Amino acid sequence: MTLTKISTVMLVALMLASCANTIRGVGRDVNQSADAVQDSF
């Protein structure tokens, strides 16, 4: 039972860490796209 709880907590933590990295990456991509559009004018 304890192993199941520990595994679940570790899995949730890993999923949250993965989501955080993805959101940061999307934010950087959007920022770079906006800069590219501004530079084109």
- The yes-or-no verdict on residue 1 having pLDDT over 80 is no
pLDDT tens column, 13-23: 888 887 777 87
Mean pLDDT score across all residues of the chain: 85
C-alpha dist (Å) from residue 7 to 14, 19, 21, 31? 11, 18, 21, 37
Q: What is the pLDDT of residue 24?
A: 80
Task: Write out pLDDT tens, residues 3-41.
Answer: 899 999 999 988 888 777 787 888 888 888 888 888 877
d(CA 19, CA 24): 9
